[in-house]
């Protein structure tokens, strides 16, 4: 598992992630710490295993990613 502190993001943080054929970038919308509906799907998350909803700068759409998939700019 990655270092816990490097996996912490806050609303408004600018991040990048690997996307279809390249790298996408956007902004953290929220940290998800419980099972919920987000970005059109059921998200399984907890305090120990959070996920982040991010908004793509290119498409304007949101997606949910695990912390290890995101890189802070």
pLDDT above 90 (res 2): no
Confidence of residue 4 (pLDDT cuts 50, 70, 90): very low
Mean pLDDT of 6-21: 90
Domains of the chain by range and CATH? 4-72 (2.30.30)
Those residues whose C-beta lies under 8 Å from the C-beta of residue 24, and which sit 6 or more positions away, are 16, 17, 18, 56, 57, 58
Torsion (CA) 5, 8, 12, 14 in degrees, nearest 10 = 70
Integer Cα distance of 33 and 20 in angstroms: 26
3-class secondary-structure state, position 5:
helix
Q: What is the pLDDT of residues 15-70, one digit of tens each?
A: 999 998 899 999 999 999 999 999 999 999 999 999 999 999 999 999 999 999 99
């Amino acid at each position: 598992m990655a270092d816990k502190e490097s996996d912490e993001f806050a609303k408004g943080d600018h991040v990048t992630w690997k996307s279809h054929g390249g790298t996408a970038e956007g902004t953290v919308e929220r940290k998800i710490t419980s099972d919920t509906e987000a970005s059109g799907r059921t998200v399984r998350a907890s305090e120990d295993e959070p996920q982040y909803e991010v908004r793509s700068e290119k498409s304007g759409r949101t997606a949910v990613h695990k912390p290890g998939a995101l890189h802070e700019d």
